[in-house]
Structures are given as structure tokens and as C-alpha cells.
Structure 1
Amino acid sequence: MKIFRDTWLIFSRQFQLLLRNPVWLIVGIVQPVFYLFLFAPLLKPALGAQTNAEAYQVFVPGLLVMLAIFGALFTGFGLIAELRAGVIERSRVTPVSRVALLLGRSLRDVVSLLFQAVLITVLAIPFGLSVNIGDVLLAYILLGLITLLCSAVSYGVALKVRSEDALAPLLNTVSQPVLLTAGILLPLTLAPVWLRNVSKWNPFSWAVDGVRALFAGEAASAVVWQSGLIIVGLTALAVFWAARSFAKSVR
């Protein structure tokens, strides 16, 4: 189908640009590595864990969700640069699918995230992390959907505001409460009741619980399919909205 071919063309072009200048890919992995080496060891006494493996089993999934959310939420800055350079404007005269303009870019972000997720997982194994390959692959699918969701939102918002000065504070304002109520760095079982109740309205809190369950080998847990349904639904809505924004921008 034409949309698949167009999506592949956009993805290939965007991925080539990423490989030519992999600075952002490297920068994106440095901070999670610091968290892995310098923050995770503090969790063993904080969580009352008996071994490092137990602490990393809790921390690594949350770290990967944080990487998926924040790595994708700020991709809109690159799109604003393309808008300023006239790249999106020149797309008006091409027959490429408007939906593919979004999906090609977002799939590049998903591949980038998955590379980083695999690297973080491998680096955590010497610290005692033990995972089942099948369960981790399911977790990576969920992480990929989270990346697609946040990437689509970021591109859609970037097309609306068209300014880094407006996009940066907007994303920071939204991302901070998401981070603090998702139980990313510390599980919300340690939180007071009111904060746990608030977190139930945060879809990424469900995602964190789902990824943690998969890393713990509990693929049959109800939270896994519940988080999957929530993220799939939100991703579909985000892609639909962002694709319409692309269509209006290059119409």
C-alpha cells in the first residue's frame, strides 16, 4: 500500500539523518546510564530489598518508561527546525502521504528508544538484573507504544505552537507531574494513599506497573493487559490527532 511505502521512505530518510549526526542518540543514553550507575544502588536500602537484583528489577523498568516518555516528548523541537527550514512547506508539492510524514518520524523515534532500552537492560544485567527474554520483548512493545504516543503528541503540539520558546515550557509543565505521579523512580507503594489515588488517573503509572510486571516475569498479571489497553487507546488517539495536524500543515 502507498502509505506503507511512504512511511518507509520518510523513516529511511529520518533514520539516515539520525545516523549522520548521532549526538542526540548518545546524549539521550548518557543520563539514564548515570541514573543506572549512581541512583539505582541507593534503592536497595530505600526499598528494603535483600539483593541488588530486587532493586534493579524495580528501577530498570521505571527508567525505561522515563526514557520512552522524555526521549519522545521533546522530538517536536526537531520538527520546528524543519518548519523553519521550509521542509514541511516543500512537502506540499510531493505526493507523499500526510500520515506517513508523522509515522515515518515517529517510527524513527521508536527504533531509537528500543536501541537505548536494550543497551540499558544489558548494562543492568551485571548488577543482578535477571529477565525472561519473552517477557522483556513484550515490555519493549509496550515501551515502543509509549514512545509512539509521546512522539505523536510532541509533533502535533509543535505544529500548533511552531516555536521552541512556547514548546519548552509547555512540555516541562506537563512532563513534571507525569513523572512525579507515575512512580517511575520509586514505586508508588511507598507513597501516601492520596498520592496513590491521584496516580490512578495517570496512564503512565499503569504503564510503569505493566512494564515492571513483565520484567518480573508476571506476563499473566492483569496490570499488563490493562496498561496495554490504556496505552494502545491513547496512542491511536494521539496518532490520529497528530496525523490530522500534519495533513493541515501541508495541505
Structure 2
Amino acid sequence: MKILRDTSLIFDRQMRLLLRNPVWVFVGVFQPVMYLLLFAPLLKRSLNVSSDAEAYRIFVPGLLVLLAIFGGLFQGFGMIAELRAGIIERSRVTPVSRLALLLGRSLRDVVSLLMQAVIITLLALLFDLRVFIGYVLLAYLMLALISLMTSALSYGVALIVKSEDALAPLMNTVAQPVLLLSGILLPMSLAPGWLQGVANWNPFSWAVDGTRALFRGDLGSPDVWQGLVIMAVLAILAVVWAAREFARSVR
């Protein structure tokens, strides 16, 4: 199919650009590593759990979701740079599918996120985190859907605002309450009832709960499948919307 061939071409180009300067993968993972090393050791007493391993099974999934959300939402800055350089303008004369122009970039972001997630997970193993590899891979699928959704949204918004000065405060305004209400650092079960009620309307809280269920080995938990379904639906909607914005920009 043409869409698959076009997406593969764009993805290959974007990955070659990423691999030419892989330092950005490690720059993106620096802040989560600091949380892992300097914040997570405080959690055993704070969460009143019996071991560090149990604390990390709670904290690491939230940290990975944080990485997926935050990393995806700020991918739009690269799109604005491409707009300014005329790359998007020159795309008008190519026969490449407009959906592929978006998907190739977003899939690059997903791969970058998964590379960072692997680094975080391997470091957590040094702190006695133990989790079945199959459950980790399913958790990575959840992260991939989150990254696909947030990067597509960021690209779509970037095509609308066309300015870093507008994109930065907008993304921060959206990201802050979304992250706090998803229970990424501490489970929302510790929150008062009214805050838990508000968090239930945050789709990312379902993703965090589902990822935590996988890390504790509870594959049958409804949180897992509800989180995957919600993230898949939102990812599809975000890609469709962003692809339309992309099509308008390259007509």
C-alpha cells in the first residue's frame, strides 16, 4: 500500500536524522533518571511498603508514563523549526501521503521514547525491581500509544500556532494538570475522594493504573485493558486530527 511505503520512507529519514545525533535520547532521559535516583529512594517510607522493590513497582510505571507524555507534547518544536526552514512548504510538491508525513515523524518519536523507557527500566533493575518481560512489553505498548497520541497532538498544535513562544506556554498549561492528576509520582488512591473523582476523568490516570498493574504482574486487572483501549482510541483520534492539520499546511 502507498501509505505504508510513504510512512516507511519518512520514518527511515527521521530515524537517520535521530541516529546522527543520538545525544537527544540521553538528554530526554536525564530528568527521569534524576527522579529515579534521587526521589524514588524516599518512597519506601512514604508509601509504607515492605521493600524498595515494591516501591519501585509503583514509581517506575508512573515515571515511564511521565516520559511518554512530556516527551510527546514537546515534539512540536521540531515541527516549527521545519516550518521556518521551509521543509513543510517543500512537501507540497511531493506525492507523499500527508498522513505518512505525520506518521513517519510520530513513529520516530515512539521509537525514541521506547529507547528511553528501556534505559529507565534497566536502571530500575539495579534497585531490585523485578517484573516479567512479557508484562513489560505490554506496558511498552501502552507507552507507545501515549507517545503516538501526544506527539501527534503536539505536531497538530504546532502547525496551528506556528510559534515556539505560543507553543511552550500552551503545552505547559496542558501538561501540568494532566500529569498531576494522573498519579505519576504517587498513586491517586492516596488522594482525598474529591481529587480521585477529578482524576477519573483524566485518561492518563487509566494508563498509569494499567501500567502499574502490569508491573505488579496483574495481567487480569481491568485497568490494563481499559488503559490500552482508551489510549488506542485517543491515539487514533489524535493522528486523524493532526493529519488533517498537516494536509491543510502542505496544500
Q: Which band: TM-score by shorter chain?
A: over 0.9
Deviations 1:219-250 (A, max 9, x none): 11111111111111111110000001111111
User: Partner of 1:125 in structure 2?
Assistant: 125
CA contact (8 A) 2:26 2:116 kept: no
Distance 1:225 1:43 in 2: 27
User: Partner of 2:214 in structure 1?
Assistant: 214
User: Partner of 1:36 in structure 2?
Assistant: 36
User: Partner of 1:174 in structure 2?
Assistant: 174
Displacement of 1:53: 0.2
Displacement of 1:189: 1.1
User: Partner of 1:50 in structure 2?
Assistant: 50
User: Partner of 1:109 in structure 2?
Assistant: 109
Deviations 1:88-134 (A, max 9, x none): 00000111110000000000000001111111111101201010111
2:14 maps to amino acid: Q
Distance 1:181 1:84 in 2: 35
TM-score norm. by structure 2 comes to 0.99
User: Partner of 2:229 in structure 1?
Assistant: 229
Deviations 1:31-63 (A, max 9, x none): 111111100001110000110001000000000
Q: How does 1:47-86 map to 2 (within 5 A)?
A: 47-86=47-86
Q: Name the SS for the 2:131 alignment partner.
A: coil
Distance 1:236 1:165 in 2: 28
Matched residues, percent identical?
71
Distance 2:102 2:219 in 1: 31
Q: Name the SS for the 1:33 alignment partner.
A: helix
Q: Name the SS for the 2:130 alignment partner.
A: coil
2:12 maps to amino acid: S
Distance 2:149 2:117 in 1: 17
User: Partner of 1:245 in structure 2?
Assistant: 245
User: Partner of 1:9 in structure 2?
Assistant: 9
Gaps of 5+ in 2: none
Q: Name the SS for the 2:42 alignment partner.
A: helix
CA contact (8 A) 2:29 2:116 kept: yes
Distance 1:159 1:62 in 2: 30
CA contact (8 A) 2:77 2:164 kept: yes
Verify: 1:189 aligned to 2:185, yes or no: no
Displacement of 1:155: 0.2
Displacement of 1:24: 2.1
RMSD, matched Cα: 0.7
Distance 1:5 1:215 in 2: 36
Q: For structure 1, which segment, 23-32 or 87-96, has the greater mean C-alpha deviation from structure 2 after superposition?
A: 23-32
TM-score norm. by structure 1 comes to 0.99
Distance 1:11 1:190 in 2: 42
Displacement of 1:64: 0.2
1:181 maps to amino acid: L
Deviations 1:64-103 (A, max 9, x none): 0000000110000000000000000000011111000000
Displacement of 1:22: 2.3
